[in-house]
Amino acid sequence: MVYFSFKSIIMGNTSEMPKEEMEPHSTRKRFSAKFNLREFAGSLGDWGTLIPFVIGYISIVGLNPAGIFLCLGVTNIVLGIRFNLPLPVQPQKTIGTIAISQAWSPNLVISTGFGTGIIWTVLGFTKFLEKIVRKIPQVSVRGIQLGLGLILGWTALQLIGTDILIGVISFAVILVSFKFKKVPSSIILVVFGILLIIWNQSITLSDISIKLPVFTFQIPDWDNILWGMIIAGIAQLFLTLTNVMIATVSLIKELFPEKKDVVSASDLALNMGIMNIINPFLGGMPLCHGSGGLASQYAFGARTGGSMILEGILEIFLGLFLSETLLLIFRAFPQAILGAMLLYTALLLAKISFKDYSLKTMPIIVVSALFCLIFNITIGFLVGLGLYFFSKLIERKIEKKKEV
């Protein structure tokens, strides 16, 4: 029989406790580390980039909100369990931007997403992306990260411009909450936004209806797959290669160095492939990973896959019971609050991009980032890569002259 002191229990010293007594305590500790207020706050961090696309897909394209949120929820839960990291899925931005601006049909959207899914699945199985990512110089990644920060920052300022006072108050709330760390800022801001909606009477209680939705199932069309890939899908593949395969993998290593080998470029490609092959049949929008979503959730407190599981549960609940009122809520939600959240994420990405910089690499990072902002991430990446190899060529010529 094993004896241990009563004092060890009271004082929290479990070293003297039997193994069977310690296991429940350890399980509760792991559970509380994954499912707490901070993780839930982090799960809302990437909604600043998510909501605008959701609104466009529902109101302009005509996708079923129930299908969108059910696919988002299930995908986030599965990935949260598998990787135990805040790796939220986001809309594929090139496809989303073109589809919404040109008012695509629902089938053209889901067919294009299906086409990207096939390509990413093949690339994920071949492991070819691992070789590409390993050969990318770090300075090119920094340029993408700063470029993303500039893109998010510019979008944030535009959103804040819709109501400068609310935007300034919201950003002040973020700064104060991170200083005192009592209540996570994203939860405060969501509550603040809902109170403003009620105060402005943008939505009344009669507008809210809780009932099960009617799902609309879609089957990808081969003509739409080909047409959609030509218009937007191919450009999306290049954007995803830089923003996901390169920037996201690098950001995981920066934020979670102890888990740097947990997620590879092939893993991300396979994730995106499978989700975009399955989701279209349920009416889900084309999805991908992204360093912006990871940075957003991390900025607002997410540190484990618990944030994704909590986000997924919330999205499934919204899709199943509040799908008909979601569009009203999102349309009425103050954009300036979303802008403040995006601005904080942009500053975090900018901070990471200047880690370990030097006078030699600074111009490359800045020029690459500016091209990302002015044109797109793929062009910015290629410009940064070209400048890097050009600088190396000049260094070699200078070394040869010194030797002579």
Tell me the pLDDT tens digit for each residue of 135-167: 788 888 888 888 888 988 898 899 899 999 999
- Cβ-count burial 375-385 (b if 16+ within 10 Å, e if not): ebbbbbbbbbb
Q: Which residue, among 145, 141, 23, 70, has the nearest Cα to 315 in the 3D structure?
A: 70
Read off φ and ψ for residue 91, nearest 5 degrees: -65, 145
Supply the pLDDT for residue 176: 87
Q: Where are the alpha helices (DSSP H) in 89-202?
A: 93-101, 106-126, 128-135, 138-160, 164-180, 185-200
- Averaged confidence pLDDT in the chain: 84
What is the tens place of the pLDDT at every residue in 240-286?
887 777 888 888 988 998 887 888 888 999 999 999 999 989 889 99
Task: List per-residue pLDDT tens for the chain, 404 residues long.
Answer: 343 343 333 334 444 445 555 556 567 767 777 888 889 988 888 887 788 888 889 888 889 889 999 999 999 999 999 999 998 898 988 888 888 878 899 999 999 999 999 999 999 988 778 777 777 888 888 888 888 889 888 988 998 999 999 999 999 998 888 777 666 788 888 889 989 988 988 887 777 778 788 777 889 999 999 999 998 888 788 778 877 778 888 889 889 988 878 888 889 999 999 999 999 898 899 999 888 889 889 988 899 999 999 999 999 999 998 887 877 888 888 989 988 988 888 888 888 888 777 888 899 999 999 998 898 777 888 899 999 999 989 888 888 877 76
pTM score, two decimals?
0.77
